[in-house]
């Protein structure tokens, strides 16, 4: 069995197959390194898509809440844009992060 395998590799078809395999795996435009990088990039993009979809859902819920609830709209305007009523003073306290 081992002798047949060795003799098949030594023949012209075996050498041709070996050269073709090495060429396709390492020297072709779409080699193993390219396939690995593409797969890694694909997985990174899929994780980013999932993250952005979750973030989009949260933002959509906040938008629906602001659109349908006047108290939420007032809270949002006061917190994000520091809006105030005419007879109020606003003091903004910012905490520095280390």
8 A C-beta contact, residue 89 and residue 81: no
∠ CA 16-27-11, rounded to 5°: 10
What mean pLDDT do residues 9-35 have?
83
Which letter, b or e, does each residue of 49-76 get, where b requires 16 or more Cβ atoms within 10 Å of its Cβ? eeeeeeeeeeeeeeeeebeeeeeeeeeb
Q: 35-82, pLDDT tens digit by residue? A: 899 999 999 999 999 999 999 999 999 999 999 999 999 888 888 888
pLDDT of residue 60: 97
8 A C-beta contact, residue 35 and residue 41: no
With a cut of 90, say whether residue 1 has pLDDT above it: no
Q: Write down the residue that tokens 């606003």 correspond to.
A: 90
pLDDT of residue 90: 80
């Amino acid at each position: 069995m081992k002798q047949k395998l060795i003799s098949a590799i030594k023949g012209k078809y075996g050498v041709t197959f070996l050269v073709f395999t090495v060429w396709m795996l390492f020297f072709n435009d779409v080699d193993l390194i390219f396939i690995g990088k593409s797969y890694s990039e694909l997985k990174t993009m899929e994780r980013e898509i999932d993250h952005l979809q979750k973030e989009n859902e949260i933002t959509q819920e906040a938008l629906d809440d602001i659109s349908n609830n006047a108290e939420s709209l007032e809270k949002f305007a006061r917190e994000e844009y520091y809006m105030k009523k005419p007879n109020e003073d606003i003091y903004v306290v910012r905490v520095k992060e280390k």
